[in-house]
Amino acid sequence: MQATLSRSISFTGVGLHGGKPARMAIRPAPPGAGVWFCRVDVSDRDQMIPARFDAVSDTRLCTVLSNGAGVGVSTVEHVMAALAGCGVDNALIDIDGPEIPIMDGSAQTFVDAIQTAGLAFTAAPRRALRILAPVVAERGDARAELHPADAFSMDFAIAFEDQAIGAQRHALTLEGDAFANELADCRTFTRLAEIEQLRAHGLAQGGSLDNAVVVDGARVLNPGGLRRPDEFVRHKMLDAVGDLALAGGPVIGRYVGVKAGHALTNTLLRALFARPDAWRWEPAAPRLDLPAPVARRFATQRIAAE
């Protein structure tokens, strides 16, 4: 059964790169709608932007989506990860500017709000994307892969010269509450030496120790330190969950990332969908996040868009 939010939820913050105030609302949407962004500040062109892999227009430092009218929205990966990780299939996201608010640099604020609001379910069947054959995307010493598997799982490795990060690897099966419990609180990160360069190019204008982990060699500059010893690789996994959500449904397969980022994961999805022999849509398995009586109670509920 497909799910949407039981009610609208709202957020205010700043854009990480533009540094401008941003207001966002995630609203319920009808079965089969998928996820769409609406630029409510735009009135002279098409406001609607689909959350799809083929609408990705830029992947430098974040994932940017754009429509055919040139209207875009950036830094969508954290909210997309939260929606996917919480099992939301259909949603309309109103945003009053070109960038999603960064909040604390993780997906935790979005997950908390989604869980507080709760989900509403319909009888509409849910579909999943099953990986049938290995697909690989490579760039230098970085690569991203999708392999057949019985569930959505992820194996990610990173390596940085900074001693505070170093080499990290983590593997996880992403079923039930695994995203919320294991990845959602892990924040974006940067190196101190990169910040001035980013700001010179008009980026990271809204960045601070309140919404990013900053490292300098062996030091983590945030007063509270890390939330997890391997927060860095877990944040990369969070990003990958959000970027894979642009496939349009839950994935049944194993994702392997080695030094992968937004660009490579999007390249991987494009390579996957270019190979009809490597995937198929199929009915999704019963949800693991609902007790059977609750699932039955909501099975006939019909959700109308606000």
Residues in the chain: 306
* Rounded distance between C-alpha atoms, residue 53 and residue 267, angstroms: 9
What does the angle CA 111 – CA 116 – CA 120 come to, to the nearest 5 degrees? 95
147 tagged catalytic: no
Q: Indicate the SS3 state at residue 219.
A: strand
Instruction: Output Rg (C-alpha) for the chain, integer angstroms.
Output: 19
How far, in whole angstroms, is CA 221 from its chain's centroid?
A: 26
Burial of 249 (0-12, 13-18, 19+ CB in 10 A): middle
Contact residues for 32 (Cβ-Cβ < 8 A; gap 6+): 2, 90, 124
CA distance 60 to 71: 17
Q: What are phi and psi of 252, to 5 degrees?
A: -110, 95
Beta strands at 254-258 and 142-147: parallel, antiparallel or unpaired: antiparallel
- 17, 78, 235, 262: the catalytic one is 262
Reading phi first (left if > 0) and then psi (alpha if -120 to 50, else beta), residue 32 is in left
Secondary structure (3-state) at 135: strand
- Residues annotated as catalytic are 262
